Amino acid sequence: MTKDSLAVTDNRTGRSYEIPISDGTVHAIDFRQVKTSDDDFGLMVYDPAFTNTASCRSAITYIDGERGILEYRGYPIDQLAENTNFLETAYLILFGELPTRDELDQWTHDITYHTYVHENIKKFMEGFQYDAHPMGMLVGTVAALSTFYPDAKHVDDARSREISTGRLIAKMPTIAAFAYRHSRGLPYVYPDNDLSYAGNFLSMLWKMTEPKYRPDPALERAVDILFILHADHEQNCSTNAMRAVGSSRADPFSATAAAAAALYGPLHGGANEAVLRMLTEIGDRKRVPEFVKRVKAGEGRLMGFGHRVYKNYDPRATIIKRAADEVFQVTGRNPLLDIALELERIALQDDYFIQHKLYPNVDFYSGIMYQAMGFPVEMFPVLFAIPRTVGWLAQWREMVQDPEQKIARPRQVFTGPARRDFVPIEKRNSRREDAA
């Protein structure tokens, strides 16, 4: 027997099996041989919510939750946030290496010159209700893009993948900004190709009557850093949606719309909004100890604390906290910050939070910063979707080229009724399980 294997005995039959271990995993399909009889389907593994299942091999993002480490292609997130701009990090995530000067110039040019959307996309967006949620508009409009680029369905063609990748990264901020302007009843602002990726986004959001919008450098840099921090986070809910939809060979615009829809949910892209609500409800630093006491008594959670993967300080939270100081110098201090700092101070020295390994996550400070910059809460998931499009696309490109991948199709444990015969309508009694 080799060392890298698992010895399994099935107590139902007394038979033993040797299951190989590679990369710290066993293959679920190897358990299918474990049967009680020849016509037994074989053993399956049950893992709702994928809490202990690796669904792919990936070379993009590494997280060590115990030690609070996040790396894109091996580079620590703090070094990237400090030294690169968003498009440089996007290039790294997508293509595996940091670009040379020439590569970065070409990549920046390619993205910048695809920021315009077809006029019919604008008309399409104008058709939304005046108070439409900007995230709903984003999801619908990205899906609609697939009808403008039917060639994107050639997902096995490398050139087609390149073109779709560029188009999506370039047009996402335009659609996001149009959705925001729509929700405010303001005219849409066309992209300005002289500006940086973040600067152009701010121009499309905030430009009014001035002939040329000049973004505040501190805010432009802060948005760029936030984009770098949110660019990828390995197999999270929306990335899993991107891979699952893409695995059916749907075009990347449709798959991105599905990923954005997953991000729309409050458990994923909406936690920073919950943090703002919580801080507003606390209302004063003096009420923090009382609030923490209530959390410990099981009356609600400390939003922006805790993470499925990080059991240490989320490294993105440290960087955001620093960037927030620079934003507040321009926008003025968000009064909620004092409450947040006090909450963090008290929680980090409290036994309950220490024992449960609960530390601030990325959402604890991002909402305060977005609010200070003037974003309404409905824009928070939209701000998340723009940079995460890079991660979604990198993961999708990896998936379509991975020979081990097939259409994503989980198994189930069937819990419904056993076979029974049809009952004619006049002989049926109402027995619906959800009937009152």
Q: Mark whether 268 is an active-site residue.
A: yes
User: By C-beta, is 297 or 407 nearer to ligand CMC?
Assistant: 297
Q: Mark whether 307 is an active-site residue.
A: yes
Min CB(375)–ligand CMC separation in Å: 17
User: By C-beta, is 85 or 236 nearer to ligand CMC?
Assistant: 236
User: By C-beta, is 197 or 365 nearer to ligand CMC?
Assistant: 365
Crossing angle between the packed helical segments 101-112 and 86-95, to the nearest 10 degrees? 100
In one-letter notation, the amino acid at residue 121 is I
Min CB(303)–ligand CMC separation in Å: 5
Q: Which residues, including other chains, have CB under 8 Å from residue 370's CB and lie 6 or more apart?
A: 272, 379, 380, 383
Min CB(358)–ligand CMC separation in Å: 5
H or E element that contains 359:
none
Residue number closest to ligand CMC, CB atom: 306
Choose, from 114, 133, 268, 338, the residue flagged as catalytic.
Answer: 268
Question: For binding to ligand CMC (CB under 6 A), which residues are involved?
Answer: 233, 236, 268, 271, 295, 301-308, 356, 358, 361-363
CA distance 178 to 205: 8
Choose, from 363, 402, 421, 434, the residue flagged as catalytic.
Answer: 363
Token pair of 421 as six digits: 């015969």
Min CB(342)–ligand CMC separation in Å: 16
What letter does residue 269 receive in the DSSP assignment? T
CA distance 153 to 9: 47
User: By C-beta, is 322 or 357 nearer to ligand CMC?
Assistant: 357
Min CB(397)–ligand CMC separation in Å: 22
Min CB(316)–ligand CMC separation in Å: 9
* Phi-psi group of 249: left, alpha or beta (phi > 0 → left; psi -120 to 50 → alpha; rest → beta): left
For the sheet with 25-26, list strands across it.
Answer: 5-10, 15-22, 25-26
CA distance 315 to 394: 22
What's the CA dihedral at 17, 18, 19, 23 to 10 degrees?
A: 160
User: How many Cβ atoms are within 10 Å of 374's Cβ, its own excluded?
Assistant: 11
Cβ(267)–Cβ(238) under 8 Å?
no
User: By C-beta, is 254 or 366 nearer to ligand CMC?
Assistant: 366
CA distance 101 to 282: 49
Choose, from 251, 307, 314, 350, the residue flagged as catalytic.
Answer: 307
User: By C-beta, is 144 or 383 nearer to ligand CMC?
Assistant: 383
In one-letter notation, the amino acid at residue 320 is I
Q: Which of 201, 194, 256 is nearest to 224 (CA)?
A: 201
Active site residues: 268, 307, 363
